[in-house]
Structure 1
């Protein structure tokens, strides 16, 4: 018996899904996470990064704070470098910074004689005709400080030292021998004051040159000086009186006398915020042995 031909049975067509539509009747695949762990979102990652940066910033700030305290302690704590002779000198403080090397040859009630070793300075001429007016002193100090802290040919920052020296440089007149009389022509700029910073000894003569042409680097040769210490603020009138007092005291010295061409030099050891009674200043004159001078 013949069977009738039946049409082929086709499976029902699949439903067309829109792009991104989840298949019906199927559960989404599960992501298996190990016990004790969790996934981190982008916000959590950014938060962790911020915390890490904050921690680094705090650590850097702490290091800077320690450096600042260490540097401040050099100025606040006396170094004990000078042996006080009086109560007035005992109250004077000196920052714990590198200074000019010297040894004491003799001590008197009003002064002491020192043998000073050679050293290098950065020096500039001060504006004006006086050495201790606020404007001129500040301007000269800033010029030298700029050199010390990087305004030089190596852009190198050097350590601060003490003291700051200020000295009067007498400008000699031009002498012309005439038939009669001998005429001395006075220099137009008269006396000048110079300020200098002591350079760190580790450099020796190998110091960077200043970018500011008003700053010169020079070596100060070894010398013998008579020094008298005093506290307080420095003024021109005060220096004039103390220089005269020191010269008068040295007239009685049988071992040393003031050199003929000696000019007064003032050393200031303390930063501006030091109280006047705690400041150490010194007035100095170069001297020579009486035997060597004769």
Structure 2
């Protein structure tokens, strides 16, 4: 006998049993013994015994398949529920954004930003045109953008994807980090001058140079212990504490709009009696929202680094 083989068992039949069998049309081959063949049996896991169970082998195989399919379906359903919950949680951060900025105009009142980590800063002063912020130091991942425009759709998409790959696992630790806001775009600074950036994606360009750079603000929990990028075009930098003047606007960003806003900000700062534009400062553009955000609810900023006027 083996576990999945057939087993012969014998049963003693009394004269009364024999008469009953004949009445039902059964004629035993031997008057005292009838041999029955049973199907496969399995060993008991709780008692250690091996009882003989009469189980149809075809039914057992079908039952096993059904049980397996049911188990897999249950596991898949549970996993799908978790994934849907995570997706819903992440989507809610963008669909139901928080409002972190005090509104000065109707345009700003309609703006919103996703409920994700952003730069740590405090407002030093505010008027109808701009506000002065003291921004704490932070780390960025930056890459040089192709082309001569910081807001060309093709070039911006390529640069964004390069940084996103680093953020989501293309690094030495293969670690997925959380997205932050904003994204900065800025023109390259002259040699020897440190580039300053803030929470959005920044694109910046200095006089006499045609290269733009895009940067992501890194999650603050890592500090200086960020995983190194595998892509050599991605660089990790620390941006020191600084003071900036910021002007906000909605809609989609273009070179012309950035130039117009920067010019307005510079002219307004000429009248400021406490702060002035730092020598050599170039504009940084911060974009806080994903592409699917409605234009009138988007928040964009043009920032210039400033310094206190010495009396």
- TM-score bucket (shorter structure): 0.7 to 0.9
C-alpha distance in 2 between matches for 1:277 and 1:27? 90
Please name the residue that 1:107 is paired with: 126
Q: Is the 8 A contact 2:188 2:209 kept in 1?
A: no
Is the partner of 2:248 in helix, strand or coil?
strand
CA distance in 2, matches of 1:120, 1:38: 71
Higher relative contact order (CA 8 A, sep 6+): 1
Q: Distance in 2 between matches of 1:113 and 1:190?
A: 27
Match of 1:57 in 2: 76
Given the superposition, is the C-alpha separation of residues 38 and 245 from structure 1 closer, same or farther in structure 2, using an over 3 Å criterion? Answer: farther
- Structure 1: runs of 5 or more not aligned: 1-19, 32-36, 173-186
Question: How many pairs were matched up?
Answer: 254
Aligned residues of 2:287 and 2:301 also touching (Cα < 8 A): yes
Residue in 1 aligned with 2:92? 73
In structure 1, the residue matched to 2:4 is: none
Partner of residue 29, structure 2 = 24
Q: Any idea what SS the aligned residue of 2:34 has?
A: coil
**SS at structure 2 position matched to 1:110:** coil
Residue of structure 2 in register with 1:250 after alignment: 269
Structure 1 segment 1-294 matched on structure 2, within 5 A? 24-25=29-30, 26-29=33-36, 41-171=60-190, 190-291=209-310
Deviations, residues 191-222 of structure 1 (Å, cap 9, x unaligned): 32110000000000000111111100000000
Q: Separation in 2 of the partners of 1:38 and 1:255? A: 95
Paired with 2:151 and 2:251, the residues of 1 have a C-alpha distance of 13
Match of 1:211, SS state, is coil
Cα distance in 1, alignment partners of residues 284 and 147 from structure 2: 17
Q: Find the counterpart in structure 2 of residue 4 from structure 1.
A: none
Distance 2:255 2:139 in 1: 26
Q: 1:274 to 1:38 in 2, by over 3 A?
A: farther
RMSD, matched Cα: 2.4
Residue 85 of structure 1 and its aligned partner are, at CA, apart by 1.7
2:35 and 2:242 map into 1 onto residues whose CA distance is: 94
TM-score normalised by the chain length of structure 1:
0.81
Instruction: Indicate the residue corresponding to 1:177 in structure 2.
Output: none
TM-score by length of 2: 0.77
Contact 1:256-1:290 within 8 A present in 2 as well: yes
Q: Within 2, Cα distance between the matches of 1:134 and 1:232?
A: 15
Aligned-pair CA distance for 1:38: 9.3
Runs of 5+ consecutive residues of structure 2 not aligned to the other structure: 1-7, 11-27, 39-52, 192-205
CA distance in 1, matches of 2:233, 2:60: 62
